[in-house]
Structure 1
Amino acid sequence: MSPVSHTLTSSPRALAERLPERLRTGYWTRLVPLLAVLATLTHLPSFLRPVWSPDEGYLATQARMLADGGVLYDTVVDRKPPLLPWLYEACFALFGSASLWPLRTLAIVAHLATAILLASLARGRWGDKAGRYAGILYLLVSIGLSPEDTQAATFEVFMLPAMVAAFRYAERRRWLAAGIAVALCSLTKQTGGAVMLPVLWMLLQDTRRRGVRWPPALAKIGFGFALPIALVAVILTKPKGFLFWVVTGSGDYAGLGSDWPQMIGRALGNSAILMSAGLAFLLPFAHRLWLRHRKRPVPARGPEHGSTVDLWMWLASSVIAVSIGFHFFGHYYLQLMPPLVLLGVGAVATSAISWRPVLIYSALASSFFCVLAVLWPGQRLTQTTEVATAVAAQTTPKDTVLIWGMHPELYWLADRRPVTRYLTAGFLTNFSGGKGADKVGEQYSVAEAWQTFDNEISTNGFPEVVVDDSGTSPYQPDMVPRIATLLNTHYEVVGVTGDTVIYRLKK
């Protein structure tokens, strides 16, 4: 046998013999399965409830409307970008619309991808061990808020992989890819675009260090960012509708409200919860800052691995993003987790602090939040399910329904079509949680919303059932003349569940 033929026949055998060893000893082949198991365990409680938050209910209802021929930013509207509604629609087309388990599974995949990207970032800066612990600590901290905020398959969860990818690409000077990642992040949720700030900062620092011209790299970032957005805005949706609903139409919603105590309380409360979840690595991080402030030497296990100014810029941009609109909802704080984890991991990796107490505390805190999710009170969900069951009993699949409230999951749970494109009363009154009642009413609605609402009623007919889910909110029917007139003229009460009143069309 010739040497060449011997090489050809032995190479596959040699490759087969080497492959198992590589699988056993490779960094990523050992780490990724561990992270996958941890991502699944920390988010298993997400499968215990049909719906965790109104955002999930809104997305599910949107997806059904799109599947029935609705047009996004026309007959199907929201103040959010389109990627997640389309993802919900695709999952419903493949697996049916009766359950959100496919979205919950994809949410776990999104958390896993985020953890892997963070591990890659930390490994490049502080070594293998730091990379491994960055992925683990992120997954432990990822449930460190109210279960309604961390177990739901909502915008922030699916935004995080693209956000971390944008930072990672920028760190590696892959400017076109960084711009595309920022665009994908922004098309999942607008505030995800805040990661552009650290991307541009890294570009500036790179041009200073290397002495190269920045316009070509900036052009790559701009092109990468603009191309996906232009594709979505101009080709896949209606440009005017996209511009209004995603960019210009949220001014009143995002404006400063009058209920300062509630806003401040929510901001401080969610910050405290997140800090308690990440206390193990936030304390070493704070200790290092204190020593540097006092100009004392920092005990180290090894040399520093570069500046962390870019991480600080990332954290600052995320804080700005969380604060926009002054709502401070818990799920907004998911955007803070990646830069916080990296800063904390860096503080531990470059100090004499042991990893063991950090991991033990984080594991205990994560276990607490996991148990909390299992035991989380379900009174609101129970009431919503009872109302949805009553609505389904009072109607047929051909009937339309109006939910006058802020819980669009009722449409999805009842499996009934909305009579209007406005799935919450917020579009017609400018109500939003925690912003006070000073600018709530018909006159503060989305532009031309009431005219559109009246046209939909004229076209579709009066809804068979109206659910008044407003309770004592400032948009209750007595404070909104058009809804009060509609109910008093055409409807009668057929049921009351808790503070929710069910009306049926008079025969």
Structure 2
Amino acid sequence: MLAEPPPSLRSVTTSAPSSQRRRRPPRAARARGRYWRRLLPLLAALALLTRLPSFRHPLWNPDEGYLAVQARLLASGGTLYATVVDRKPPLLPWLYEAAFALCGDTSLTPLRLAAATAQLLTALALASTARRRWGDSAGRTAGVLYLLASVGLNPEDAQAATFEVFMLPFTAAAVRCADRGGWLRAGLAVAGAGLTKQTGGAVLVPVLWLLWQHPGPRRTPLLCTVVGVAAPIAAAAWLTGPAHFLFWTVTGSSAYASFAGSELHVLARGLANTALLGAGCAGLLPPIARVLRIARTGAADLWLWLAASAGAVLLGFHFFGHYYLQLIPPLVLLATGALQILPAYRLTGALLTSACACALFVLWGLLAPRPELAHAVRIAAEVEARTGAGDRVLIWGIHPETYWLAHRTPASRFLTAGLLTNYSGGRDGPRVGEKYGVDGAWRDFRAELADQPPALVVDDSRGKPFAPGRLPTLRRFLARGYDRSDVVDGAVFYVRAQ
């Protein structure tokens, strides 16, 4: 007698055949409506609770500051990838600009609410996918587990309204649409993820796998997917200028993506953030590990999604904590599927463990001090006091939020020293200097300073490798036209020579 094969994540699916799903009776449709009406308020409340710390500070990290300054410059007539530059795609700068236009540019509270909404949408997409595969209870489990795990990193990574948080709804939607055979919608979602952050395009891997597994001809689904991916990207390139778009989002980041320089520093950061993610996902990992030991896992698309997301985290060799957010959605679905195979008490344990871990990370976000923010606030107050509203200033450092807090216009399109020296990404070794900056950046920087010299220069390097003393161009510029006037909290202020 043949032994019964071990269960798999796919073998416990409860979804009906596609023809039956298309002809759901009215009673089933009403039950579906009740399901979401009950689940939506629960997930919405949980999304707000888990992101309460995000409202505590005006800013959480320099990425938020960069986006805020970009949005102001765009609103005042700036052009993305020309007079306003960054290595990121355009979708989030445009969202910040729209939020500032609607609600004013002095607070990020609207963006905090938008980030909570993005997390809610991600949870709903994961719940929908899990419900289709494993039933009503699995949908609730996936939504709740995701929101509990979504804050399981350093608060400045998990609570900030930055790229990864807004990328995740698109990635979850791409898998959901592909799982249902909605290839055009899946392609559009992949494009949305990639236009929020380049690594969001990694979700194309599970989408293509699902397409390959789809019964029937593949030519039309593939064409729909390609059109869905390509059309929004082509539109964004056309709106911002194809050459500028390609340079700033793809080809202009070779030095930034290099592993050379500060290897031990970067490795330590990677290990620390991996450990933090493990703690935040403490309720997810044991069920996955248990199922790997006792059963065929199936669900190859989820494993491919996790592997592609892990590759995206590794890309560039920087290992910032917010990169790891991309791993959480596939981990949640894998854990949800595993819990359908395991005994019921495993679900209780997973939820309880996740809730406890979430509570610790939320408490950390509410109580942890933000010394770098305090420094930026103090410098911004000094800049505002020493300059007029129409003056242009240069903050030579890695805290672009100082411009936003001081309500002053940057003297350069390069809002941090990182773009000019490759200090971006925490590089603090030999690959920091003028020759490692973005190609052509110093030429444009010199032209900007010569055309409209800043009224005030603040050297906020504080002993780091991008200090003006190590950069001949900036050192000569300060020596020719500026006098050292004061030192505030380690930052050196220079005023134009009379």
Per-residue deviation, 1:465: 1.1
Within a 5 Å distance, the mapping from 1:395-410 to structure 2 comes to 395-410=387-402
Q: Match for 2:234 among 210, 213, 230?
A: 230
Q: Point out the structure with max Rg over C-alpha.
A: 1
What secondary structure is seen at the aligned counterpart in 2 of 1:493? strand
What secondary structure is seen at the aligned counterpart in 2 of 1:361? helix
What secondary structure is seen at the aligned counterpart in 2 of 1:390? helix
Within a 5 Å distance, the mapping from 1:487-502 to structure 2 comes to 487-502=478-493
What secondary structure is seen at the aligned counterpart in 2 of 1:249? helix
Letter of the 2:374 partner, please give it: T
What secondary structure is seen at the aligned counterpart in 1 of 2:284? helix
Partner residue in 2 for 1:241: 244
Per-residue deviation, 1:23: 9.4
Partner residue in 2 for 1:64: 72
Contact 1:281 1:344 in 2 (8 A): yes
- Correspondence 1:308 to 2:278: no
Letter of the 2:343 partner, please give it: A
Letter of the 2:353 partner, please give it: Y
Q: Match for 2:457 among 460, 466, 478?
A: 466
Q: Match for 1:321 among 308, 312, 319?
A: 312
Q: Match for 2:274 among 267, 271, 275?
A: 271
Per-residue deviation, 1:270: 0.8
Deviations 1:456-482 (A, max 9, x none): 12222x111111111222111111011
Aligned partners of 2:426 and 2:456: how far apart in 1?
28
Aligned partners of 1:269 and 1:465: how far apart in 2?
38
Partner residue in 2 for 1:478: 469
The alignment's TM-score, normalised by the length of structure 1, stands at: 0.90
Partner residue in 1 for 2:285: 282
What secondary structure is seen at the aligned counterpart in 2 of 1:26? helix
Aligned partners of 1:167 and 1:384: how far apart in 2?
40
Per-residue deviation, 1:262: 1.6
Partner residue in 2 for 1:11: none
Per-residue deviation, 1:256: 1.4
| Structure 1: 5+ residue stretches without partners | 1-17, 293-297, 299-303
What secondary structure is seen at the aligned counterpart in 2 of 1:401? strand
Partner residue in 1 for 2:220: 216
Change (3 A) 1:505 1:308: same
Partner residue in 1 for 2:129: 121
Contact 1:91 1:102 in 2 (8 A): yes
Between 347-356 and 129-138, the greater mean CA deviation after superposition: 347-356
Contact 2:428 2:464 in 1 (8 A): no
Q: What value does the CA root-mean-square deviation take over the aligned residues?
A: 1.8
Contact 1:158 1:188 in 2 (8 A): yes
Letter of the 2:439 partner, please give it: A
Letter of the 2:235 partner, please give it: L
Within a 5 Å distance, the mapping from 1:347-386 to structure 2 comes to 347-354=338-345, 355-386=347-378
Per-residue deviation, 1:42: 0.6
The alignment's TM-score, normalised by the length of structure 2, stands at: 0.92
Partner residue in 1 for 2:263: 260
Per-residue deviation, 1:33: 0.4
Per-residue deviation, 1:487: 2.1
Contact 1:117 1:168 in 2 (8 A): yes
Q: Match for 2:178 among 162, 170, 182?
A: 170
Deviations 1:317-358 (A, max 9, x none): 000001100000000011001001111111112211422221
Aligned partners of 1:487 and 1:459: how far apart in 2?
15
Per-residue deviation, 1:438: 2.0
Contact 2:313 2:323 in 1 (8 A): yes
Partner residue in 2 for 1:417: 409
Aligned partners of 1:27 and 1:506: how far apart in 2?
69
Partner residue in 2 for 1:449: 441
Letter of the 1:109 partner, please give it: T
Contact 1:281 1:348 in 2 (8 A): no
Contact 1:24 1:30 in 2 (8 A): no
Paired residue total? 471
Contact 1:23 1:29 in 2 (8 A): no
Identity of aligned residues (%): 53
Contact 1:284 1:344 in 2 (8 A): yes
Aligned partners of 2:33 and 2:303: how far apart in 1?
34
| Structure 2: 5+ residue stretches without partners | 1-25
Letter of the 1:269 partner, please give it: A
Partner residue in 2 for 1:342: 333
Between 160-169 and 430-439, the greater mean CA deviation after superposition: 430-439
Per-residue deviation, 1:488: 2.5
Contact 2:88 2:198 in 1 (8 A): yes
Partner residue in 2 for 1:9: none
